[in-house]
Structure 1
Amino acid sequence: MTSHEEQPAKKIRLNSGEPVVIDTKNRSEDSEKIASNIEVNQMIRERDVGIIEYANPPIPGFLGVIKQRFSDFMVNEIDNSRNIVHLTNFNIPKVENPVDKPDVQDIGIPKEKISDEQVFQEMKALLGEEISNQIQSLLSGQDENLSFVNTKVEKDKNKRKAIHQFFKDHFGDKLNTEANDGVIKVSMHTDKTRKDRRSRQQKNDIWDALGGSYCQFTLYKENKDTIEAINFLSKLIKVHAKTFSYAGTKDRRAITVQKVTANRIKAERLLGLNSNLKGMKLGNFEYVKTPLKLGDLRGNHFVTTIRNVQVENEEVISKAIDSLQSRGFINYYGMQRFGSSSIPTFHVGRALLQNNWEEAVNLIMKPRPGDRQDHQIARQHWIENHDAKKALELFPKQCIAETQILNYFAKTGQLNDYAGAFATIPRNLRLMYVHAYQSYIWNSIVSERIRVHGCQAPVVGDLVIKDEDSIADIDSEDLVDDNFTVNSDDKKEIKVKVLAEEDLNNYSIFDVVLPLPGYSVIYPNNNIFEIYKELMWKDHLDPREMRRNVKDFSLSGSYRKIMGKPSDLSWKIFKYDDQNISLSLTDLDLLDGKSEPESLPNSKNTALRINFSLSASSYATVLLRELMKPTEKE
């Protein structure tokens, strides 16, 4: 079993310090010309999104290439138990305590005998007196016209679960419950519903015997993003992608390892997929009672190889790493938060928050320098002709926002209904735009906070998190926001403390947070709040007024630590000749018993391999920026 072979790739270094990878195999002359004509100033730059300062500017960096090969960037999830997730086996879990099939007569017998009056009072507490009286009439059969009772709409999933459980415990042999759009329909059992209920119970007992109805497994993938991998798995076994759940998405151009749960899919079925998977493997199967949800992780562990390092001596690297360990790095949102084209995602987000739907749609659709040739042709056709049907044919399917907008225009013929067209974009993408604007503001503000007050100690008016239990919440906040969670009043409230003079000795710079703009956050009680107002007023926005008529764009805000610091950090210098040689071991390599790569002393090339762990919300590329200190061209 070996890792997927990488294709040769040409590297173009951008101002952000990372190379863009262009496939040199089967590339047309036209695309060659397009690639060669890309100007650096056509691409979004770090300073365009507020990334300006360094935690320790006097410490010099060095030149090198990040992600020359996707195997140069390895990411292993850190679960909630603080374990680094690895693919270590392909064993099928054993059933330790098999159970017999339940006696049919036992199904529906109340768990606990209590008086009818107590049952009625419990029902009244759950459903109210009027609904409870109707259900009593249904049970008595006094009203021949009453065949079922609908509860009021209940949005709370836990409350709906409690209602179902109540009827199962006390009326399991008489009443059937089923939910639809938050309403629970209560009706008398029929022979069919009793049979269906027994069948469900028997299936539940089978999964209970295994250990739970969710099969948790480790997903190892190469050069694929998480959503792409999950969609592929769901197609193979012919189930909906929502059958699978995970704690967070992982990079595409990397080798990544993470946990996934599958609802009522046997381990044998998942293991059987391995023979048909390329660049992916599934293993470490176990059955659990609850699925993973977004944010169920402590962070990620990285093994990053920086190739073609140019440095005077090893001491420069050693000092840079010592500084990283002691002073940390400014916890910026990385460049990937803002897209890769000359029109950053936060520009669209700004238009949305200004309620300027036309501008938002035009920004998504307009031509942009450095775009792929087929994208350029499609965009240009739309701008020149406003022919939605033809432009839809020209756009590649992976241009999701563009094709959704055009599909709406083509179907309705309402080319001026920009709000309606934008609403057809998948919700996660819609949220991405406004979150990108929040991130741009946060980056810009933290740069000012560091410029004005430095990054060595808190100052009066800074904010810190009051509740230590909330630290994990803010560490995974951005990850959850990126993956379909709405900014809403339902989110757990995070309490902050405004520091006074007497508090300063009790906190370090690594405790300080800054808010992402929102209606429920507290802003620093110093000159930094004025900078929030000045910056957002330039965009005709107010940091204190972030409610909108469209719920998705009504931003409650959150908090983010201004400084990050790696843990479990180690490093090693390699000398090598072959640019295609792997300088780190993947989980598959370890399973195959491969040996650790060796440095070749007399070789011409130098590489730095650095291992470190970060919280879920921090970016490895931002850490590497502090380490290497790349310079941007004007």
Structure 2
Amino acid sequence: MRQDGDAVNVPACFISSHEGFLGSIKNFIKDFVVTEIDINGQQVNQEAAEGCASAYKPSETTARFPQNNHSFVSHNSYVSADCGIDVALPSPGSFDLGVILGQSVSDELEQFVLTLKDEKATQQELSLGSFSDKHHRANVHRAVRHRFPFLMTVTIQPEIRVREDPDYRELSQLVTEDEAEDFFRFIDAKVRGSSYTFGADDDKDHRTAVHHFLSRRFGKLVETKSFSDQGSTAISVRLRERGRPKKRSSDERKEEEVYTAFTLHKENLETLEAISYMAAALGVLPSDFTYAGIKDKRAITYQTMVVKKVSPQRLKEKRAEFEKRGMRLTQVRSVSEPLRLGRLQGNHFDLVVRDLRPHSSSDAPASGAERHTRLAALVKEAVENVKDRGFVNYYGPQRFGTGQSVQSDRVGLALLKEDMVSAVRLFFTPEDVDDPQSNAKRHFLQTDNAKESLALMPLSKARERLMLRALNRYGTNADGCAQAWLSLPHGMRVFYPHAYCSRVWNDAVAHRLTTLGHSARRGDLVWMQEGQSKADEAGESSSVQIHVVTDQEEQSGVYTLGQVLMPMPGNTVKYPENAMGTWYQERLARDGLDNCRFRVGSLKLNLPGCYRLLLATPHNLTYQLQRGGGGGGGGGGDVMGERKQDMISLTLNFDLDSSCYATICLREIMKCDV
């Protein structure tokens, strides 16, 4: 049964006609366990399961970032391929200028900062007052530089004065003001082994100018290099070790080539959020972590990762710290290369569905034994159908962002139409609830005041705060809104157009099944090669040879529905050569994208598209029915007047190929939204 707040994002079109049943999932975190299956077909948690005497329970200690580390985590750390996430940033409460300076001086400092933006301003320096205690002076220096990294603090004992840092002014002419501020925070923190990455910059001459400036002004403190990531180039800045020469030695180059693999066990934590925690603690870039796929947040998950430039011993030393944040690292070992995205066979799922009951209350037998018999028959029929016929390979609700008043695909459509203002306003559409995030969004839509909305927005809402900061700086017109989108990491920006394309794919599949039936038809697309691996066949591919089914092949039944591919819209894909080709054209035209090139140059977005199998099939599917809620308690309260011990739960265990959604498989089994 659909969870509260979730939106129905998937068409009501199924591949089989069994009756199904009702129930609830994810009542508890332990009801949804995901274990990665590596390229050799092995579950990655096997050694961990054998080597642990008791089940892992995360510490109840509140997870916090090391102070300041968030400022020099690569922007790419806040990226999710399939779902938007909110990254919890550390509280700057210890840097409250109103407390440290007094409210009147703090207000005066704020006004001084505003005058610096006026080039005609004559006031170039401000006194913050005298501070006799050296510890108080130290706190003032730290607090002012944290809040305003573009200011210099000077002590003329016991007085502290502030003025604009000329280096900041010069750097802000080369990069965005946000990047300049974050860079100066990074420099001020001087955390050993830390690094900072500027935003993507494909202009080589411009990168050279940035390199030269950083070398000239900070060459003794940092070293810089350009690196490529996901088709874009960016500059990374790393603090030098004490006494470290500018040029890397052969030993240091070898250190760059160190790779350590491990199994990450996380609970109720997003994959990329976990990476940002680990990167900050280890002093490396989030991009130094590689993985085969992103796992669910509201679940217990096991997956393999590889981190670059970190030895196994150093990683083991951090394991206790990571456990406090809901992560456990096992099977730590040296490897020779990073992981590649998609380098897995799939995932194993252990799910519990609670409070089972028939779709129609009139079908519910009076006695518990009769009800169990009835549900057992429904479950057996459903499982056997899905074993034999598979399920429609829809993108799951998390692809579109659950619980949102405006779904992510609508934001993506506005971006593809390059309507930046509409995209921003859709992004800030609030939920119909009275919470701080919705109130801040509501205030922005009503007032267009980004500064006031930023003050209302919770610190944990990283994406919204990045956007509001940019809107405050650049304005809320079309250019300002484009700058606001550019303030988000590339992976986060591209998530929204991908969500739109996924919605089109889901709708295309439902229309294809409704109008052309459940067999391969002339003009459908299929794989050209035979004998491809399951990993390739499972989900998406943009580099496969495509064959168009001929009339003779349709008549002879050469291909089955399970071999049919449907394209995700993009600028490199081929569309079906039957009625579905026309459907795609009409759908895109109806959405105002008939001339769309699936590129948004101003936001550096390019969507080539891909192909995805219309059907997916679970492997090794087993199930078990239990009375009494499956040992974990039911959803609470009575169901149709029954006692809790009479409730029935279903345990399901199965494997899915990569890029397939367990919730969609379960939806086909149960014949209801989950």
Normalised to the residue count of structure 1, the TM-score between the two structures is 0.67
CA–CA distance in structure 2, aligned partners of residues 18 and 274 of structure 1: 36
CA–CA distance in structure 2, aligned partners of residues 397 and 517 of structure 1: 36
Q: Note closer, same or farther for the CA distance 1:78–1:578 as it changes in structure 2 (3 Å cut).
A: closer
Q: Note closer, same or farther for the CA distance 1:577–1:298 as it changes in structure 2 (3 Å cut).
A: closer
In the other structure, the counterpart of 2:655 is: 613
Q: Deviations over 1:89-133 (max 9, x none)?
A: 4999xxxxxxxxxxxxxxxxxxxxxxxxxxxxxxxxxxxxxxxxx
Q: Note closer, same or farther for the CA distance 1:511–1:497 as it changes in structure 2 (3 Å cut).
A: same
Question: Which of the numbers 542, 545, 553 marks the counterpart of 1:495?
Answer: 545
Contact between 1:517 and 1:544, CA under 8 Å: does it hold in 2?
no
Q: Note closer, same or farther for the CA distance 1:240–1:519 as it changes in structure 2 (3 Å cut).
A: closer
In the other structure, the counterpart of 2:27 is: 68
Q: Deviations over 1:575-625 (max 9, x none)?
A: 22586359xxxxxxxxxxxxxxxxxxx941211111111111111000111
Q: Note closer, same or farther for the CA distance 1:516–1:227 as it changes in structure 2 (3 Å cut).
A: same
In the other structure, the counterpart of 1:436 is: 499
In the other structure, the counterpart of 1:11 is: none
Question: Which of the numbers 77, 84, 93 marks the counterpart of 2:36?
Answer: 77
Q: Note closer, same or farther for the CA distance 1:544–1:463 as it changes in structure 2 (3 Å cut).
A: farther
The alignment yields a C-alpha RMSD, in angstroms, of 3.1
For 2:496, the aligned partner's letter is Y
Question: Which of the numbers 401, 418, 423 marks the counterpart of 1:360?
Answer: 423
Q: Deviations over 1:497-524 (max 9, x none)?
A: 0001332433221110010112211111
Q: Deviations over 1:552-585 (max 9, x none)?
A: 4332211111111111111111122586359xxx
In the other structure, the counterpart of 1:229 is: 274
Q: Note closer, same or farther for the CA distance 1:551–1:515 as it changes in structure 2 (3 Å cut).
A: farther
For 2:309, the aligned partner's letter is R
For 1:248, the aligned partner's letter is G
Q: Note closer, same or farther for the CA distance 1:617–1:578 as it changes in structure 2 (3 Å cut).
A: closer
Matched, 1:384 2:344: no
Q: Note closer, same or farther for the CA distance 1:235–1:193 as it changes in structure 2 (3 Å cut).
A: closer
CA–CA distance in structure 2, aligned partners of residues 360 and 90 of structure 1: 46
Residues 366-445 of structure 1 aligned to structure 2 (within 5 Å): 366-369=429-432, 371=433, 373-413=435-475, 415-416=477-478, 417-445=480-508
CA–CA distance in structure 2, aligned partners of residues 45 and 419 of structure 1: 30
For 2:652, the aligned partner's letter is I
Matched, 1:288 2:341: no
Shift of 1:245: 1.8
For 2:672, the aligned partner's letter is P
Question: Which of the numbers 18, 29, 32 marks the counterpart of 2:2?
Answer: 18
SS in 2 for 1:217: strand
CA–CA distance in structure 1, aligned partners of residues 265 and 227 of structure 2: 37
Residues 198-209 of structure 1 aligned to structure 2 (within 5 Å): 198-200=250-252, 203=254
Worse-matched range after superposition: 234-243 or 620-629: 234-243
Contact between 1:90 and 1:271, CA under 8 Å: does it hold in 2?
no
In the other structure, the counterpart of 2:510 is: 447
CA–CA distance in structure 1, aligned partners of residues 445 and 414 of structure 2: 19
CA–CA distance in structure 2, aligned partners of residues 318 and 247 of structure 1: 34
CA–CA distance in structure 2, aligned partners of residues 540 and 366 of structure 1: 22
Residues 7-46 of structure 1 aligned to structure 2 (within 5 Å): 17-20=1-4, 44-46=7-9
Shift of 1:454: 2.1
Q: Note closer, same or farther for the CA distance 1:83–1:538 as it changes in structure 2 (3 Å cut).
A: same
Structure 1 runs (4+) greater than 6 angstroms displaced: 192-195
Residues 249-260 of structure 1 aligned to structure 2 (within 5 Å): 249-260=294-305
CA–CA distance in structure 2, aligned partners of residues 181 and 224 of structure 1: 29
CA–CA distance in structure 2, aligned partners of residues 329 and 84 of structure 1: 23
For 2:544, the aligned partner's letter is I
Question: Which of the numbers 313, 321, 338 marks the counterpart of 1:268?
Answer: 313
Q: Note closer, same or farther for the CA distance 1:327–1:403 as it changes in structure 2 (3 Å cut).
A: same
Contact between 1:18 and 1:67, CA under 8 Å: does it hold in 2?
no
CA–CA distance in structure 1, aligned partners of residues 499 and 411 of structure 2: 9
Contact between 1:515 and 1:521, CA under 8 Å: does it hold in 2?
yes
Contact between 2:475 and 2:481, CA under 8 Å: does it hold in 1?
no
SS in 2 for 1:494: coil
Worse-matched range after superposition: 192-201 or 215-224: 192-201
Q: Note closer, same or farther for the CA distance 1:423–1:454 as it changes in structure 2 (3 Å cut).
A: same
In the other structure, the counterpart of 1:51 is: 11
Q: Note closer, same or farther for the CA distance 1:79–1:550 as it changes in structure 2 (3 Å cut).
A: farther
For 1:325, the aligned partner's letter is K
Contact between 2:538 and 2:616, CA under 8 Å: does it hold in 1?
no
Q: Note closer, same or farther for the CA distance 1:539–1:284 as it changes in structure 2 (3 Å cut).
A: same
Shift of 1:409: 2.1
Shift of 1:223: 1.2
Matched, 1:627 2:664: no
Q: Note closer, same or farther for the CA distance 1:575–1:291 as it changes in structure 2 (3 Å cut).
A: same
Worse-matched range after superposition: 503-512 or 407-416: 407-416
SS in 2 for 1:88: helix
Shift of 1:181: 6.6
Contact between 1:87 and 1:219, CA under 8 Å: does it hold in 2?
no
Q: Note closer, same or farther for the CA distance 1:413–1:19 as it changes in structure 2 (3 Å cut).
A: closer
Contact between 2:539 and 2:613, CA under 8 Å: does it hold in 1?
no
Contact between 1:470 and 1:494, CA under 8 Å: does it hold in 2?
no
For 1:617, the aligned partner's letter is S
Contact between 1:518 and 1:544, CA under 8 Å: does it hold in 2?
no
CA–CA distance in structure 2, aligned partners of residues 253 and 54 of structure 1: 26
Contact between 1:76 and 1:257, CA under 8 Å: does it hold in 2?
yes
Question: Which of the numbers 395, 412, 420 marks the counterpart of 1:349?
Answer: 412
Q: Deviations over 1:286-330 (max 9, x none)?
A: 211101122221211101110111143311100100000011111
CA–CA distance in structure 2, aligned partners of residues 614 and 90 of structure 1: 21
Q: Deviations over 1:250-279 (max 9, x none)?
A: 111111000011213222332333333143
Structure 1 unaligned blocks of 5 or more: 1-16, 21-39, 93-154, 156-177, 184-191, 479-491, 583-601
Contact between 1:400 and 1:425, CA under 8 Å: does it hold in 2?
no
CA–CA distance in structure 2, aligned partners of residues 244 and 89 of structure 1: 21
Shift of 1:199: 3.4
In the other structure, the counterpart of 1:538 is: 590
Contact between 2:534 and 2:657, CA under 8 Å: does it hold in 1?
no
Question: Which of the numbers 230, 240, 254 marks the counterpart of 2:285?
Answer: 240
Q: Note closer, same or farther for the CA distance 1:542–1:398 as it changes in structure 2 (3 Å cut).
A: farther
Contact between 1:221 and 1:281, CA under 8 Å: does it hold in 2?
yes
Q: Note closer, same or farther for the CA distance 1:225–1:367 as it changes in structure 2 (3 Å cut).
A: closer
CA–CA distance in structure 2, aligned partners of residues 383 and 581 of structure 1: 43
Question: Which of the numbers 317, 342, 345 marks the counterpart of 1:298?
Answer: 345
CA–CA distance in structure 2, aligned partners of residues 538 and 402 of structure 1: 30
CA–CA distance in structure 1, aligned partners of residues 630 and 346 of structure 2: 33
Sequence identity (%): 32
Contact between 1:55 and 1:330, CA under 8 Å: does it hold in 2?
yes
SS in 1 for 2:249: helix
Q: Note closer, same or farther for the CA distance 1:421–1:195 as it changes in structure 2 (3 Å cut).
A: closer
Residues 491-570 of structure 1 aligned to structure 2 (within 5 Å): 493-504=543-554, 505-542=557-594, 545-550=597-602, 552-570=604-622
Shift of 1:474: 6.4
In the other structure, the counterpart of 1:463 is: 525
Contact between 1:80 and 1:297, CA under 8 Å: does it hold in 2?
yes
Contact between 1:431 and 1:552, CA under 8 Å: does it hold in 2?
no
For 2:398, the aligned partner's letter is Q
CA–CA distance in structure 2, aligned partners of residues 305 and 496 of structure 1: 39
SS in 1 for 2:411: helix
